[in-house]
Amino acid sequence: QANAADSLQLAACQRCSRKPFSHPSAVDPRIGEVLLGSMAPADDDGSEDFSANVGDSLVVLPLRNQVIFPAIRGSFELPKKVFEDVCDHLERTGASAIGVVASRRSAKKISSADLYEVGTLCRMVSHAAAGGDGEQAASGRVRVVVEGRSRFRVLKYTQEEPLRLASVELLEEKGDAEGPDQDVAVRALSHSIREKMAEMLRGNQQDNGKGSGSSRRQFRWPSSPSALAGLVGATLAQLTVEERQKLLEAPTTRARLEIALDFLQRETEAKRMSSEISSSIQKSRELELRQVVLQRQIQEVQKDLQRLQNKAHRGTDGEASEGGGADLEDGEDEAEDEVARLADCLARARLPEDAERVAKRELRRLKSLQPHHPEYTSIHTYLELLASLPWAQSSEDRFDLKEAKAMLDEDHKGLHQVKKRLLEFLAVQKMRGDMKGPILCLHGPPGIGKTSLGRSVARALGRKFHRIALGGVKDEAELRGHRRTYIGSMSGSIIQALQALGTNNPVILLDEVDKMAANSMFNPQATLLEVLDPEQNGSFKDHYLNTPFDLSRALFICTANDSSQIDRPLLDRMEVIELSGYTLEEKASITESHLLPKQRRLHALEPEKPEVDAQQTGDAGEVAHMEAMHVQEPRLVLTPEAVSSLITKWTSESGVRSLERRLAQICRWASLRIQGLDVPHNASAGDAERQAALSSCGPNQKGIVVVDVQHLPHIIGAELFEPDIAERLVVGVAMGLSVSSVGGQLLFIEATRTRGGGRLTITGQLGKVMTESVETALSLLRSRFVRSSRTSGSGASAAVGDVSSVPAGSEVLSLLYSKRAPGDAENSSDSAADRDPFKGEDIHVHFPAGGIPKDGPSAGVAVLLALASVLLDKPMRSDTAVTGEVTLRGHVLPVGGIRDKVLAAHRAGVKHVLLPLANKRQVLEDIPAKTLEGIQVHYMKHVDEALDWAFGRLGIGEAEAAALGQQDLAPGLPAAAAAAAVSAAVARARPGYAGIGFFPGRGR
């Protein structure tokens, strides 16, 4: 040791009145390297009264992560100041013993409450500066070696600072001599412990490569059973402080021996299991190493054979051939390494049986080819595809329905029926445990969120998402892949999507499935029959892959705008979910919560939210400052009235795409306005008038621009759509309702008559179904008119009761016939053909926008009303739109698309809608109550009810007209009361009249 350390040790020993001891060798706590001889109790050194002067002032030193047992030596470090205080106290009191007690926790500062109650009375054997020579010797710490003598229990602590002093009682050993049976048990336990420890010692020595023949004579077993138990506690390194303390606190020797034997048995079993695991791993490594060596040897042999074959082919071509030999051999080495890499990737891919057989065959072909061979690249690319496909890789599903509902509500406003159906689908799949089931097809107009719905489903399931655009796809090879016989062949889009995602259970969205091109030569929709059939897609065979791949775990969602363009067999394999357009309130909510903030951020009119991590910044003030900087008002504000006006007057769609473009136009104008530049929307706009109108927009002192209703025409131009378009109906025009691929629309039907030979002309690019509807309506109207004319022709001889038997619509036509020509009423002998109003006249029915094909069974009632308007020479009610199909008997049949049609009428400002009575359930379930507050829905079962509602004021008495006028003049009058008033007035004017046939809508 260094001189400084020697001086410190000598001074400390003089203070303790002891001779200096030499520092013992370090004791390794592992069993195989413990020097048991050094742990035997030392001689008493003439100190028989070692524990006589313990008294009430025993110095107690806390130990962290350490327990010292009687008859066992141990060491620990003390600060130099504490060591000097301990020596001073021992010298002052004449004591020679100190106490050590383990701590329950290894904190920097230990209190008396943290110490166990039982500790060990020790004698200091030696001490030295901690760390030995150099800088560590000057660290101010002293390593003390002590030897345990006996156990004690702390009664109370009498002093805490500067040294912890305690009043203790010594614990005597019990059970060493309590009868012959107890002595036999102790000896048996001691023998078992020695055998277990000897076994462990032999195992450790064999592991370290040492012989075990003469090792046992190096150790001297303790003669005391209690010391033997302490030896176990001191040498087993895996024991915790709690377990060592449990061994120390055992009341009797037998109890300590039993605890020690239990620890030894547990350690022996753990060592045995570890040895078995190590042996198994070693054998596995040896097998793998042997396989690698053999494969390398085979490759070397194949390389030598290949070189001999190349030399035989080259022959004796001279020095030029020999000069390029080295480069050729290097290329061959790289090719062989690449083949080995592909083989390893294929082995890890866990291919199914069919694919593995194909891969092995192609791999053998690749090994036999040279890199410059034409087929080498083709086979190499094919094997890379096989190795990269997710044959057995799946992502973990997350079927949290509450979270899925929250995600759908967050991403989409409205669409309640669709969300309900998607949540039902997820719930069923959660109970099934897999994703096999019906293929969903989201059918609806563009711009309502079909693609984002698929993305939300993927996010709710915790799966990866991929979108495949099918619009314009005309070749099945784009979906199924090209055959490998073609140059430049590749796999189809389905396999490419799975390869890119890396999982075999993603959510794949087949977008615009109705826009796939088809002709007489090919039909790509037929390719989807196998992909979208749960019974067949378990063995989907791509042309390029040419081996079955399981698609049954993937969830396919299709989107379409027009289901009539989808092949019937393909449509039968999908479950179609109808998506209707958004209401005015839903569009306003989407604008406020999503569209407007998005456009403001894109145009720098709203700050992006910074991602601040308080742990990274480390300064709470800086974080608060950054958050305060973010809390800023947007620099563009649209009033709610401006949003509603923008939706109704500048857009007319089921979705929100046009609305988003209008918002972007306003944001661009606001950016110019904030920069102090104002460009008029068109050159003809009056600058002075425009500036006066926009003067209230701002920007204000905070730089905020506020846009209201009166500012919109000067920002984005004149109104494109007039909500009161229904006020422009004239004679021969009826307002119908239709549904197309872009949502619900108003359908104006025009009819006129000219002199001719009774020919019917239909224009507007109609389909066969719609053409038949026009012919049916004309035949029905003609039959009703002739029957009405017969009733009117009876003159005064007809009784009032006979008139009541005729429906209301026929009464209107009957009155028209009586006024049709002077003297016609007296010519009762005329035939029915002579009384036909269509005789000698041609009828022309036209559907505007002839460039757009139209077809569908829902225009019959509207056509009939247009023809009746021509015959009556009066316009129908201009605030009413109608939909429904008629039969020759006059019955009104139900139609589809009710929600879209009602929303289209609401957007156009229509006040009344006539619907078939059979569609009442769809109105109650699908249309929001707020929409019905602005529009009245009437239900009809027979066409006469529609005629009565559309032309009820014509040819009736003054009392009826006054009642109908009273309904219009008093808008606050409830609908039921108004209907009762009208019916009463008509009944007074015409006894036996059945009343107006309409039913108030929900909420009216």
Concatenating the DSSP letter of every residue in 407-429 gives: HHHHH-SS-HHHHHHHHHHHHHH
Residue 413 known to be catalytic: no
Cα separations (Å) of 495 from 467, 487, 535, 537, 555? 13, 19, 19, 12, 14
Concatenating the DSSP letter of every residue in 956-980 gives: --HHHHHHHHHHHH-TTS-HHHHHH
- Structural contact between residues 963 and 952, judged by C-beta atoms closer than 8 angstroms: no
Instruction: Measure the CA dihedral 946/949/951/954, to 10°.
Output: 140
| Catalytic residue of the set 196, 413, 515, 901 | 901
Chain mean position to CA 920: 37
**What amino acid occupies position 668?**
R
- How many beta carbons lie within 10 A of that of residue 690, not counting itself? 17
Q: Who contacts 240 (Cβ-Cβ below 8 Å, separation ≥6)?
A: none
**What amino acid occupies position 970?**
A
**What amino acid occupies position 243?**
E
- Residue showing tokens 């403001």: 600
Least Cα distance to 234 among 29, 41, 38, 75 occurs for 29
Q: Taking the CA atoms of 246, 216, 223 and 25 in sequence, report the sign of the dihedral they define.
A: negative
DSSP class of 594? I
Please give the Cα distance from 837 to 692 (Å, whole number): 59
Chain mean position to CA 395: 12
- Residue showing tokens 């030029």: 320
Instruction: Measure the CA dihedral 761/766/768/769, to 10°.
Output: -110
- How many beta carbons lie within 10 A of that of residue 487, not counting itself? 8
Least Cα distance to 100 among 134, 83, 123 occurs for 123
Give the Cα-Cα-Cα angle 668, 669, 672 (nearest 5 degrees). Answer: 90
- Structural contact between residues 571 and 436, judged by C-beta atoms closer than 8 angstroms: no
- Structural contact between residues 426 and 404, judged by C-beta atoms closer than 8 angstroms: yes
Instruction: Measure the CA dihedral 69/73/75/79, to 10°.
Output: 80
Helices (H), 433-552: 450-461, 477-480, 493-501, 528-531
Residue 901 known to be catalytic: yes
- Structural contact between residues 147 and 134, judged by C-beta atoms closer than 8 angstroms: no
- Residue showing tokens 């614990």: 171
Please give the Cα distance from 231 to 190 (Å, whole number): 12
- Structural contact between residues 812 and 951, judged by C-beta atoms closer than 8 angstroms: yes
> Using N-to-C axis directions, what is the helix angle for 80-93 and 3-15, rounded to 10°?
30
Please give the Cα distance from 558 to 573 (Å, whole number): 11
Least Cα distance to 363 among 337, 340, 388, 392 occurs for 340
| Catalytic residue of the set 456, 740, 858, 869 | 858
E-strand spans in 529-678? Answer: 540-541, 548-549, 555-560, 574-578, 636-638
Q: Taking the CA atoms of 973, 979, 982 and 987 in sequence, report the sign of the dihedral they define.
A: negative
Cα separations (Å) of 270 from 28, 208, 256, 266? 20, 18, 21, 6
DSSP class of 467? E
Q: Taking the CA atoms of 615, 620, 625 and 628 in sequence, report the sign of the dihedral they define.
A: positive
- Residue showing tokens 């090994």: 367
User: What is the helix (H) or strand (E) element at residue 926, kind and residue range?
Assistant: helix 920-926
Please give the Cα distance from 661 to 884 (Å, whole number): 35
Catalytic residues: 858, 901
